[in-house]
Structure 1
Amino acid sequence: MTSPQQTIIFPRYYNEGQGWIKNHPDSHQSILRNDWGTAGKQWYEQSQRYKDSGQGWKAGRFKKEYKYLWGNN
């Protein structure tokens, strides 16, 4: 993992533990396969789902993490 990937992924596991894996199995599997392109797409889609479900603060956080890791808007 690159330093930016570690910066985001390790705290995500630390803060949410096994719940993160349970709630985001597709992203988790993509990361384990070292498929960061697919993981990025899934990360962005998750931010949209949080936004659509009214969890704006979490959507914003995932969006910032997405921008940090993949450099996209």
Structure 2
Amino acid sequence: MLRWPIAILFLANMLAFVAVRGVFGPSPTAGGREPNHLNRQIHPEWLRVQPVSAAEAVDQAVVGGPAPSAPIAASALQ
């Protein structure tokens, strides 16, 4: 009774194994998604990284820090 489902599961596992090993060719995620993207950049040497000053970082969220409290005024319902 369970012989056929076990055989089908075994064959499905073997098919998945050989697919992961690359028997059917490389997977679509093996290479870069846009291989020509870097070649199409106009002037990549013009790019530069600048640190964010304190004035610019006022509205930036702090990762791992506490959530800021919202400045909301509440009043009692009447």
TM-score interval, normalised by the smaller of the two chains: under 0.3
Q: Which has the higher helix share?
A: 1
Higher RCO (C-alpha under 8 Å, 6+ residues apart): 1
TM-score, length of structure 2 as denominator length: 0.21
Larger Rg: 2
